[in-house]
Chains A and B, each alone.
Chain A
Amino acid sequence: MNYDFDICVIGSGAGGGPIAYELSKAGKSVVVLEKGPWFKTEDFSKDEIACCRRSVYTPNLRDKRHVIEDKNNNDDWVGKSTYDTGRDFWNGNMVGGSSNVMSGYFHRLKPEDFRLLSEFGPIEGANIVDWPISYNDLEPYFSKVEKIVGVSGKVVAHPHLEPRSTNDFPYSKTAEHPIAQHIDNACNNLGFNSIPTPRAILSQNALNRKACSYSNYCGSYGCSTDAKGSARAALLNPALQTGNCKIVPNAMVYHLESDNTEKVTSADYYDENGKSKSITAKIFVVACQSSESSRLLLMSKGTKHPNGLANNNNQVGKNLIYSGGGSGTGDILYKNYNDTEIAQLNIRGLFVNRSLQDWYIIDDKSFGNRSKGGTIDFLFKHANPIAKTNSQKWGSHGLVWGNPLKNKIKSYFTEGRHLRFEIFNDWLPTDNCFVTLDPDVKDKWGNPVARIRIGNHPHDLKVGNYIEKKAVSVLKQMGAENISSSISESPPPNLVAGGCRFGDDPNTSVLDSDCRAHDVENLYVTDASFMPTGGSVPYTWTIYANSFRVADKIINTL
């Protein structure tokens, strides 16, 4: 049989990028189908309206939405359309996916993350399993990402430093804001080990990309120098240069056709004019970001796959996970500093880049049994002035306007800096966090939207609350005022994984250890869907590393 391409990749973000990069470099013909538009570097500017106030990088909820199932006051699960609630669950829908708009806080997983069950034991109500691979299997690929995507940092010894095959990062750490020293001092006084946060941002010209310009508009924005290691800049652009890779933007894949041998034969998609088209390939790789990958498989019913592709054991969409934890802020008020210090604190653009992983594993009797903990990242709030101002319109008794509002805004902007922390801990997989197809709500093409139940496990909050106290103690030690923080039961939609977890047993997993579907010979899933447990760090580095690993597996089969 003749195929249009050797490999068809659906989704062009961190999960799809390494496949396109490696396979096209290996001389295979690759097509990447991306439902969003194709923005080039010159299309990005530091424009809050385009970035964050309108539906430019994400779909308008009129056209494409989700249904989110949350618990109501009677403890019943109730689904509401995100169009009705405004609770947007989209991330970056464009060539390169949401890696274009990430901040690039890059932490590796640690060996214990691969064996949560055997290391810490079961937790009632959580579907915890060990991974079918170990840290050692993924380590070479974490290193590969450092070099190819570009990770800047400095290795500093600390109690939970993961084993490395290289001594240090290939790129020196990005420039740091003077407040990093204040954080280090506070941590020293408290006996904590603050470490420089590795970033997927080039600190120097390299890889045919320019160094960071420290524009102060990083997270949520596309990068104007390509310093940020988006799948677009770091992987798809080089893939295109091989001449073996084709990217089709505005291509919404709605069905994967399968034949009587259980193999996928074509990807059916709507082009930008809404016309249905089809592409054949030897191998198909799905990487649409977890909930949409599960949705596509569930929509792709076939003779041999009556419940959806790769779903003969009814596992697709189950064990969806987010990131547990929460965030907090404290005000570093200028009134407490001298003029020289104020001038330093007022510098814009440089990165805070400080993390704490002292409680990545909690071994503290006051907490209970030895347990998996998490990571604290320190950062300044995103520059976005409109969003910041908008949050000032609510006072203790409703809306504020007139001079009281203006005084509030001015004080917020000019009297100090707002130092933020974010806590990342495991969102344990449970039977109450999963994706199905909504029976009623459709997208603009008439296809069922993803219906996502977002239940969490109480243990996640217990861990988050423990780490929150440590983070708050740093802010207090720094002399921050107006400290507020919260550990949330609500999932951050941008930090999503699972739904097609990998494992050795087809009865309890969707993918095998190579991220190939147990029951579909030529189908792989390479976004964060494969993760049975999430670790306690942002997902992007792990997605990249695993996708590079799977690329090697695919090359071996061709």
Chain B
Amino acid sequence: MLDPDVKSVTDKYINKKIDRRSFLIATGVFAGSVTFGSLLSYYYKNSLKSSPFNKYQDKILKEVQEHLFPHSDDSPGASEINALHYLHFVLTDSDIDDDNKNVLISGVDWLEEECKTTYNKSFLELSFEEKDAIFKDIEDTNWGYRWLSLNLTYIFEALLSDPIYGGNTSEIGWEWLKHTSGLPRPTSDNMYGKS
């Protein structure tokens, strides 16, 4: 909420919808903070150089993103807008909330656990219908709702942010939605994270 002459609810507020405190209590993040904290510090140490996920998790995430935002004849899918690479960029950003990073990272393993419990299979082995069903199942949980919602948000950022941030390959997202970018566009001198 920046513009002093226009009324709008902050996008950040809409994004969250769930109160952080009730979310943390519901998901046991307070109780499990040692595990999460150490997990996070491990990722922070390594995040700038490499993906915060191992190869298997990356593979799952790629499938997750493509299921959330599939390719179609007239529109790009998650992989075409470089959504996974963009998510790595998000996870190295100190501005992003630690709890959201926790959810984004841990959600991959939690999803796998759900798939194993429900189907005795990895997410990678699920049919289209099973993937849909498991997403609907986890959407009813606090963590699952938040994880899916965050993943969608960062897919949208990959789709429509300036290509300087690594998504929106060759402006494919803008082209799909007939969106004209504003001028001047960000440069390597004034892009976010440069100061």
Contacts and interface: CB of A to CB of B under 8 A. Distances in A.
Interface in A390-423: 390-391, 393, 398-399, 401-403, 405-406, 409-410, 413-414, 422
Interface in A360-399: 379, 382-387, 389-391, 393, 398-399
B130 interface: no
B6 A47 contact: no
A211 interface: no
B192 interface: yes
B11 A57 contact: no
A92 B1 CA distance: 9
Nearest to B179: A385
Contact of B182 (A103, A217, A401, A402): A217
Nearest to B95: A54
Given A49-B192, A50-B186, A413-B178, A402 B13 contact: no
Interface residues of A, number: 86
Given A85-B16, A413-B177, A45 B4 contact: no
Contacts of B68: 401-402, 405
Contacts of A99: 4
A493 to B, nearest CB: 5
A87 interface: yes
A390 B11 contact: yes
Contact of B185 (A45, A327, A387, A399): A45
Interface string A53-66: 11111101010000
B191 A86 contact: no
Interface stretch (B26-34, B109-117, B157-165): B157-165
B180 A348 contact: yes
B15 A390 contact: yes
A325 B101 CA distance: 36
Interface string B117-151: 00000000000000010010001000001001100
Contacts of B1: 88-91, 492-494
Contacts of B16: 85-86
A103 B192 contact: no
B149 A54 contact: no
A196 to B, nearest CB: 16
A112 interface: no
B190 interface: yes
A98 interface: yes
A389 B168 CA distance: 14
B10 A88 contact: yes
Contacts of B8: 327, 382, 492
Nearest to B77: A406
Interface in B1-39: 1-16, 19-21
A219 B6 contact: yes
Which of B67, B135, B157, B184 has the most C-beta atoms of chain A within 10 angstroms of its own C-beta? B184
B24 to A, nearest CB: 9
B178 A414 contact: yes
A36 to B, nearest CB: 12
B168 to A, nearest CB: 10
B153 interface: yes
Contact of B135 (A80, A88, A393, A401): A401
B46 interface: no
A87 B180 CA distance: 30
B42 interface: no
Interface in A496-529: none
A219 B3 contact: yes
A216 B180 contact: yes
B183 A213 contact: yes
A455 interface: no
Interface string B49-83: 00000000000000000011110100100000000
A385 B177 contact: yes
Contact of B2 (A45, A54, A494): A494
Contacts of A43: 190
Nearest to B162: A47
Contacts of B156: 386, 389-390, 393
Given A86-B20, A219-B5, A405-B68, A387 B192 contact: no
Interface string A82-119: 01111111111000001101111110000000000000
A393 B176 contact: no
Interface of A: 14, 37, 42-58, 60, 62, 80, 83-92, 98-99, 101-106, 213, 215-217, 219-221, 224, 323, 325-327, 348, 379, 382-387, 389-391, 393, 398-399, 401-403, 405-406, 409-410, 413-414, 422, 424, 488, 490, 492-495, 538-540
Shortest Cβ-Cβ A-B pairs, 7 listed: A46-B182, A217-B182, A86-B16, A47-B186, A219-B3, A413-B177, A538-B5
Interface of B: 1-16, 19-21, 67-70, 72, 75, 93, 95-97, 132, 135, 139, 145, 148-149, 152-153, 156-157, 159-162, 165, 174, 176-187, 190-192, 195
10 contacts: A45-B185, A80-B19, A84-B20, A85-B16, A98-B4, A224-B183, A382-B3, A385-B160, A402-B67, A494-B7
Given A91-B1, A325-B7, A492-B1, 6 more contacts: A46-B186, A86-B13, A219-B3, A385-B174, A385-B179, A410-B176
